[in-house]
Structures are given as C-alpha cells and as structure tokens.
Structure 1
Amino acid sequence: MADWQNYGREGGLYRRLRDACAADWAAYTWHPFVQQLAAGALPLPAFRHYLVQDYLFLIHFARAKALAVVKGESLEAMRGKAGAVLAILDETKLHLKYCADWGLDEAAVMATPETMETVSYTRWVMDRGMHGDILDLEVALAPCTVGYGEVALRIMAHAGRADTYKSWIEAYASADYQAMARAAAARLDALGDSHGGEARFATLARDFRMAAQLEARFWQQGLDIL
C-alpha cells in the first residue's frame, strides 16, 4: 500500500468513504493541476489564481471549524476544534506572506472576489454542518484536510517531480501537516464508530464524494483562466 493510502485504519470510516468514491477521489488528488504542479509545468498565473482563492477559502474553513466547536460531541472535542480555529486564523497570516513571495500584494488579495468555485465549496460545507451533526460536518471537511496530505505524498513520490513549487509541496508533505491529516482521518473513524457511521454510510459517502468533486473544481479554476 502506498504511503498516501495509509490514512485511517483498515475497515474504518475514512478508508471506506475514500474507496466508495475512488474515481472522484483520484480525479481530485491527481488532477491535471496537481500533475502540472508536480512537474513544475503549471503556469504561474494559474498558481497565483489558486493561491488567492485558497486564502479566501481558508477564511470560510475557519468558520466551519468554529461550527465544529458548536457541534462538538464533548468538551475535549470542543477544545480541539477551538485550537484548530486559532491555528487556521494564524495560517491566514502566513498565507498572505506566502502570496507575497509569489508576487501577490496583500491588498490585491483581500480585494479579489470569491469565484463561483470558492463560494459553492465553502457554503456547501457550512450547509452540511448547519443541517447535520458533527459527523456530517467532519465528513465534509476531511477531503480537504486529508486530501491535501495525500496530494503532497503523491507528488513527493512522483518520478518527474520538479522544484518549481517545492515550498508548497513541502508544506503539505511536512511532518506537522501529515500528523494533522492522519489525526483528521482517525477522528472520522472514531466518529463513525460513535455516531452511527454504518447506518448512515450511503449519505456520508454521497457527501464525501461531493466534497471530492468540489475540490477537483477548485483546482480546475486555476487552469480555466489560462
């Protein structure tokens, strides 16, 4: 089994969800945008467009994590999610600095409107969280958190990998990010056990698939501007 297939436990909810939408998951984690990024062939305008929208995405991701505090099943879970919210808000500052490294001015980033892809993805996640319980919300969030970890490991294992976007790749391949991705998969497994994941599997799989599809469209927007 490849490293990027090792998130979650065998027979756990995360792996079952991933396997249930294998084609859509592959289309997301090895999207042409990702392949070009790995090979160093991704045009810079496409990458810059992605970086700006990813910053705007992070703002809503923090809101979704804050909703997970409200939906948290225990005080321990609420504390963990509160910490995650603060970490993401700190990440937005680092993301702006990273954007500047690629020639993107902070004022310009902040003034950029959200694309339809960004709006549709982030509001869908919030909708799943508002209308469901903590498991529904975590299923909607996991493809981003865990998926980016897988994307980075896929790229690191790619024979034709180039160094053009090395800093981005290494950020998600880092030990810290990989630990976070594995924790997110393990949490999904645990919530599947405690919140009736087996009985709800069809609905959860539908949402996991939708999140993977929305992630693929998020990549695609960078190529569509070319």
Structure 2
Amino acid sequence: MSFTQQLHQAAQNIWQKSLVHPFITELQSGQLPLTKFRFYLLQDRYYLVEFSKFHHLLAEQAGNPQIKKFLLQSEADLRACEWSVRSDFFTGLKITPMEIRQTAVAPTAYNYVNHMYLTLERDGFAPAIAAIVPCYWLYQEIGQKLAKVGSPVALYQTWIDTYDSDWYEVNVTHILQLINILASQATATDRQMMQTAFIRSSYYELQFWQMAYAKERW
C-alpha cells in the first residue's frame, strides 16, 4: 500500500462526510441556495489567496529544484485556471471588489489557513505538503462523483467540471507523486506528522462546507 493510499484510508470517514454533506448534495441537485454558494466563494477566495502564497513559501523552502519547480508551477496553474473560473463566478453573481474587501473571514476559513502555516512552522516541509493535499485530492473525488450525474444549475455544473477536468487530474497526480516521494524519504515520526496534517486538513475541508452552508459568523 502506498503512503497516499494509507492517507486516504485514514481520512476515509471524514471524506465520506464531505461527499454527503448537504452543501455538496444540494449543489448537485440544484437546491443549494445561491446565497450559500456566494458565501462559499467569498471565503474560498480568502483561502485560495493564502493557498497560493503558501505554495510560494513552500517553494522557497524546497531543497530539491524539481520540487520547487513543481510548486511554483502549481501556483501558476492555480492562478490561471481556478482563479479564472472564480472570476467568472464573481462576475455572474455580481460580487464586487468592495464586497470582497468588506467581507470578514469566517472562523473555519481563518483556522484552516492558520493550520497550514502552523504545520510548516512547527512540523516542517513534508507535513506542510501533506496539509495541502486534501484540497487537491478531495475536490477531485467530489468532482468525479458529481460529474456522473451533473447539476441542473449551470453555475454549479461549471464548478463540478473544474474538478473533473484533465488539467486538474494532472495536478492531483503530481501532488500525490510528490507526497509519496517525501514519505519514502521520511522517518516514521515524520510520516506520522504528515498523516496528522493530512487528517486535520481533511477535517477542515469538511468544516468548510458546513461553514458555507451555515454562513458561519464569529
């Protein structure tokens, strides 16, 4: 069993809860209120900005030139692809720059981002890489599952298509290859920290759906 398979198995219970969360099931059925999707997009924007910065920070700390190149390319792909889709969503939902500036960061989004930075500072490079993997991999799994049926709402279908696309599959494949390489070079203690970081991020992914569904406030 590969290390990524071990991670997937360890987080399976949490991932299953994401797959059946009302935010996801209603997005597929078309019943998800646009106000909740709008809330999700605004919080996800904060997360993606930090996620992009975090890739750059990881690249600066990467000792291997190939890993550094991959992380910088992933950051570029994130900006070129996911940000492009999000920009269209924002335009369609009339989310303005002023609204973005005035939107407070919700507790879960704030805590998820802090978890990533704390993992890097406290546990090091490999666990920090493990902390970003669920964002890639879980979204792919959700996208592939929802794509089998689709959504009657065009906006939601575009969201699904993003994570069921060829370019996204390539990025997921590469990040999984990277985490397996890092695990093969890590001590047992480091691998445990990597798994802990992965599970915690998986938990925050689940909480992110609930945050949006409940329009979480402080």
TM-score (structure 1 length as normaliser): 0.86
CA apart distance, 1:78 = 1.2
1:9-34, Cα deviation, whole Å (9 max, x unpaired): xx111110110121112112432211
CA apart distance, 1:36 = 1.1
Name the structure 2 match of 1:162. Answer: 151
8 Å contact 2:139–2:163 — kept in the other structure?
Answer: yes
1:40-74, Cα deviation, whole Å (9 max, x unpaired): 11111000100111111111101210121122130
Name the structure 2 match of 1:203. Answer: 193
Name the structure 2 match of 1:63. Answer: 53
CA distance in 1, matches of 2:28, 2:85: 22
Query: Are 1:173 and 2:161 matched, yes or no?
Result: no
Name the structure 1 match of 2:21. Answer: 31
CA apart distance, 1:89 = 3.9
8 Å contact 1:28–1:213 — kept in the other structure?
Answer: no
Unaligned runs of 5+ in 2: none
CA distance in 1, matches of 2:60, 2:79: 18
Name the structure 1 match of 2:63. Answer: 73
Q: In structure 2, do the counterparts of structure 1 residues 65 and 29 end up closer, same or farther at CA, with 3 Å as the change threshold?
A: farther
Aligned CA-pair RMSD: 1.9
CA apart distance, 1:124 = 0.6
Residue identity matched to 1:25: W
Query: Are 1:131 and 2:135 matched, yes or no?
Result: no
Name the structure 1 match of 2:105. Answer: 114
Runs of 4+ in 1 over 6 A off after TM superposition: none
CA distance in 2, matches of 1:93, 1:113: 23
CA distance in 2, matches of 1:203, 1:101: 41
8 Å contact 1:46–1:223 — kept in the other structure?
Answer: yes
Alignment of 1:11-50 (within 5 A): 11-50=1-40
8 Å contact 1:100–1:106 — kept in the other structure?
Answer: no
CA apart distance, 1:225 = 2.8
Q: In structure 2, do the counterparts of structure 1 residues 195 and 201 end up closer, same or farther at CA, with 3 Å as the change threshold?
A: closer
Query: Are 1:99 and 2:85 matched, yes or no?
Result: no
How many residues in Structure 1 have an aligned counterpart in Structure 2? 213
CA distance in 2, matches of 1:147, 1:76: 25
Name the structure 2 match of 1:219. Answer: 209
CA distance in 1, matches of 2:14, 2:210: 14
CA distance in 2, matches of 1:87, 1:180: 9
Unaligned runs of 5+ in 1: 1-10
Deviates further, 37-46 or 127-136: 127-136
CA distance in 1, matches of 2:19, 2:130: 17
TM-score (structure 2 length as normaliser): 0.89
